A and B are shown apart, each in its own frame.
Chain A
């Protein structure tokens, strides 16, 4: 055990953890909107819209995240047309490519979580809203969405943790996130175990915080209180 290396690498790894958290939070926020949009499309009665939303979530859940990042980072740059549009400003940055891939990926999983939450809402609740003379739109925004969000909290908490682990793939497109820096230190010092312990502990600490935060939210918004 090389304690000196462990202590010496801690500041570098903590600095990299900030990048991990940034990647995570930005892609989660975008992903939540994508997820909500596709969950609403999924419960739509129109077959074409429905199938389109299903196809999206099927493709993004059925392929590895690594493939998705590579298609966006290496693949899209190949299209000449894209290079001339304003999109290129975004797509030439590995940071934004990673975020687009993460957001689309977590959006697919989130849409599934929210869809099943929408479908398990008791019809009586919606009927009660309607019989009170509330318009369909307000029933949806003020009754269905809040209940669905509450119901999907535990599953969404898991998704956040999975996504946090997913951000480690940013290191494959040259971003120096926590895993990227850990790999760099390992390959220069050849002390994999020590670096793994420090980097792993930081990840575990983040998992622990997310887990407890979700538990807190669950309690706060539980139906019984």
Chain B
């Protein structure tokens, strides 16, 4: 237990901060994922063959390639890509991208592919009559989507999005290979300096279990909230 005390002698405070970091990366990645889903879901649902192809390629490639490989692509390729873009605008200094941004972006793209599939399924399962009724009522396009369609999509999507959240949360452990100090990286450091890997990795497992357990509780509440009236 002494190993977990707060302060200079133990790893308690470091692991606490690392847990917060894991939560922060997961939430950021999930939001980045939503942003990608917002772009690619309409593409996947589009009747235009070209748009459709782009949407399908995104979800197929990302879901068929290991997460670790995607992270390596961003970790080694991210800096180069940003510097290339910057050089077009005439900026030639070395740019170092933060491990947090690289990681959240890489995991976000992966999470986005899963979210896209969830949203596509949810939109497709909504009765055609709902779209028609919204149009007949003379609502603006904006209101049609945000007032009628989106609430129904969310109700159907939330249980599946909770799976995406679990996947995203667990995937953040892979960012440790880029050096971002989240639960996994901190346990690695602690295990290395105390020579007690069994204890620290087991404790990391407990932390992840706690996170998945707590998020399940919160998501269940959301589910109840959005399925009022059903």
Is B65 a contact of A66 with CB atoms below 8 Å? no
A192: chain B residues within 8 A (beta carbon): 72-73, 76-77, 80
Q: Does A133 contact B (CB under 8 A)?
A: no
Q: Which residues of A contact B204 (CB under 8 A)?
A: 67, 70
Task: Give the residues from 115 to 169 in chain A that come closer than 8 angstroms, CB to CB, to chain B.
Answer: 161, 164-169
1/0 contact string of A67-89 vs chain B (CB within 8 Å): 11011001111110000000000
User: Contact at A186–B213, with CB atoms within 8 Å?
Assistant: no
- Contacting pair A64 B77 (CB below 8 A): no
B197: contacting residue among A74, A172, A186, A187, CB under 8 A: A74
Instruction: Determine the chain A residues whose CB is within 8 A of the CB of B60 once the complex forms.
Output: 204
B196 near A78 with CB under 8 A, answer yes
B152 at the interface (CB under 8 A from A): no
Assess whether A204 is in contact with B68, with CB atoms less than 8 Å apart. Answer: no
B interface residues, how many (CB within 8 angstroms): 36
Taking CB atoms and an 8 Å cut-off, the chain A residues in 176-208 that contact chain B are 179, 182-183, 186-187, 190, 192-193, 196, 199-200, 203-204, 207-208
Q: For B173, what are the chain A residues with a Cβ–Cβ distance below 8 Å?
A: 64, 66-67
B209 touches A66 (CB 8 A): no
8 Å CB contact of B77 from A168, A171, A196: A196
Is B205's CB under 8 angstroms from A68's CB? yes
- A8 CB–B CB distance under 8 Å: no
B67 within 8 A of A: yes
Is B184 a contact partner of A179 (Cβ separation < 8 A)? no
Contacts of B64 in A (CB 8 A): 161, 165, 203-204, 207-208
Q: Does A46 contact B (CB under 8 A)?
A: no
Closest beta carbon of chain B to A108's beta carbon, Å: 13
| Contact assessment for B198 and A75 in the assembled complex, using a CB-CB cutoff below 8 Å | yes
Within B55-72, which residues are at the interface with A (CB < 8 Å)?
60-61, 64-69, 72
A225 on interface, CB distance cutoff 8 Å: no
- The answer to the question of B176 belonging to the interface, with a C-beta cut-off of 8 Å to chain A, is yes
Residues of A within 8 A of B (CB): 58-59, 62-68, 70-71, 74-79, 161, 164-169, 171-172, 179, 182-183, 186-187, 190, 192-193, 196, 199-200, 203-204, 207-208
**8 closest Cβ contacts across the A-B interface?**
A168-B66, A75-B198, A192-B77, A64-B173, A74-B197, A207-B64, A192-B76, A165-B66
